[in-house]
Amino acid sequence: MKLFVIAGEPSGDALGGALMAGLKTLAPDTRFTGIGGPQMEAQGLSSLFPMDDLSVMGLAEILPKYFHLKRRIRETADAIAAEAPDAVITIDSPDFCLRVLALARAKAPGLKTIHYVAPSVWAWRPGRAAKMARHVDHVLALLPFEPPYMEAAGMTCDFVGHPIAAEPVASVAEAQAFRAAHDIAPDAPLLLALPGSRRGEIERLGPVFSDTLARLSVPGLRVVIPTVPARAEQVRALSHAWPGAPVILDAASTPPDIKRAAFRAADAALAASGTVSLELAAASTPMVIAYRMNALTSAIITRMLRIDTVTLVNLVSESRAVPEFLGPDCRPDRIAPALQGLLTDPAARAAQLEAMHLTMSRLGREGPPPGLRAAQSVLTACALPA
């Protein structure tokens, strides 16, 4: 079987690498061509061009590369036509991938197409599913409630599990070792602060987090701030006067197992909205979610949202166990009492821990790895008539 696989960013490369490994297990004769990064290349892919060519986001970043990206779209569609694969698998990056599929389908109308990562039409812009259905036959979904939305738009869809469910979790011994390595007492209350990974997020949330921490009454509190390399200096400058003698974990020098140990060692977290809520759930770390966008974006998104919570733990567990403080509610005087409760009241933690366990179970923690489930779904989809 010949498959053309496309990923446009590191998260897609990770999904693609696991999918390819699963396919090599279930169908060892599968041959891959396409576009990907180091994890897909480790599974034998020779990328048509560097994946970094596609890793741009935001209008300011895309405009200077507009004609270059258009050329890459044509090159990719031409390569698909020349390869004549049994199926094309696109992974996230819908702006690029759907344009490629439109051109590729124009050249080969019977081409089987599979897309990995369903658009979040359950949250906003439901019309995206219908737009995708013009070019996609089958969808691999990360969340258990997504298949009905895809099927209603005319595609087949399988829930294959979320990659967070397959990631290792630090042991109690590793969590204790983390505390010892950073001079944090075994019984000291420990808070993770996660103000986001983008400059604008940190600029907006940093002062809110600072004021929130100042309002806490938790003797001996320590704070750990994991951050990405590009934002480490910004976070360091922002947090130097925070209480809790903050420890900054720069991903450039912090192996993933140390970050996992920090998550497991923490008693609670104050986090920006995003998939980090699932990382915290995997580590059984209770959390408070806070997020503030610029005024224009907030007004637009608020009008378009179709759900009453944006936290994936709440959505997957069908609970509202994780408190959220979004937009106008993202205020230290409201956030601090919720965080105080998580750090000092076992009853406040219990409901979250139950919701987190249910979330990880529903995301596939007890089942086969997502890469293997995705591979089986691809093989089943390829056996169906186009």
What per-residue confidence (pLDDT) applies to 63?
Answer: 54
Residue 167 lies in a domain: no
Q: What is the mean pLDDT of the chain?
A: 91
Between 124 and 318, the higher pLDDT residue: 318
| 197 and 316 part of one domain | yes
> Tokens representing 169?
């979790």
What amino acid is encoded at 291 in this protein? Answer: Y
37 shares its domain with 71 = yes
pLDDT at residue 305, rounded to an integer? 60
pLDDT confidence of residue 294 = 61
Distance between CA atoms of residues 74 and 321, nearest Å: 47
Place of tokens 């100042």: 214
Paired tokens of 191: 């808070």
pLDDT, average across residues 320-344: 95
User: Is 372 a member of any domain?
Assistant: yes
Q: What pLDDT sits at residue 302?
A: 57
Do 32 and 49 have their domain in common?
yes
With a cut of 50, say whether residue 153 has pLDDT above it. Answer: yes
Residue 203 and residue 327 share a domain:
yes
Cβ(292)–Cβ(346) under 8 Å? no
Q: Does 386 have pLDDT greater than 50? A: no
The mean pLDDT value for 138-148 works out to 96
> Among positive and negative, which fits the CA dihedral 78, 83, 84, 89?
negative
Q: pTM for the whole thing?
A: 0.88
Max Cα-Cα span within the chain: 67
Nearest alpha-carbon partner for 327 in 287, 299, 288: 299
Q: How far is CA 173 from CA 131, 181, 193, 262, 365, in A?
A: 49, 12, 22, 12, 22
Q: Is the pLDDT of residue 2 over 80?
A: yes
Q: Do residues 277 and 332 share a domain?
A: yes
Q: Residue 300 above 50 pLDDT? A: no
Helix and strand totals (H; E) in the chain: 17, 12
Give the least confident one: 93-102, 154-163, 299-308, 325-334.
299-308
CB distance 343 to 189 below 8 Å:
yes
Q: How far apart are CA 323 and CA 212, in angstroms?
A: 15
Asked, for residue 290, whether it belongs to a domain, the answer is: yes
Residues in CB range of 275: below 8 A, 6 or more apart: 164, 312
Question: What is the total count of domains within the chain?
Answer: 2
Give the pLDDT confidence score for residue 295 in this predicted structure: 56
Residue 305 is part of which domain span?
A: 172-362
Q: Average pLDDT in the 212-221 region?
A: 96
165 assigned to some structural domain:
no
More confident residue, 328 or 331: 331
Give the pLDDT confidence score for residue 366 in this predicted structure: 87
Evaluate if residue 31 carries a pLDDT over 60: yes
Residue 148, in any domain of the structure:
yes
Q: Locate 88 and state its tokens.
A: 């094309």
The verdict on residue 120 lying in a domain is yes
Q: Is residue 166 part of a domain?
A: no
Q: Beta-carbon neighbour count of residue 353 at 10 Å? A: 15
pLDDT at 180: 97
Question: Do 200 and 311 fall within a single domain?
Answer: yes
Are both 290 and 354 inside the same structural domain?
Answer: yes
CATH classification at residue 96:
3.40.50.2000
- What pLDDT is attached to residue 57? 44
- Asked if residue 35 is part of any domain, the answer here is yes
Q: How confident is the model at residue 13 (pLDDT cuts 50, 70, 90)?
A: very high
pLDDT given at position 59:
39
Q: Per-residue pLDDT for 209 more than 60?
A: yes
Q: Do 212 and 132 share a structural domain? A: no
Amino acid 60: pLDDT = 41
307 shares its domain with 371: no
Q: How many Cα atoms are found within 13 Å in the side-chain-facing hemisphere of 128?
A: 14
One-letter amino acid for residue 212 of the chain: T
Q: Which helix (H) or strand (E) holds 288?
A: strand 287-291
The pLDDT score that the predictor gives to residue 124 is 64
* Predicted confidence (pLDDT) per residue in 36-87, tens digit: 999 999 999 999 999 988 865 443 445 557 678 889 999 999 999 999 999 9
pLDDT of residue 296: 47
Reported as a pLDDT band with limits 50, 70 and 90, residue 197 is confident
Per-residue pLDDT tens digits for 156-190:
999 999 999 999 999 999 999 999 999 999 999 99
- Comparing CA positions, the residue from 322, 200, 306 lying closest to residue 269 is 322
The reported pLDDT for the residue numbered 306 is 63
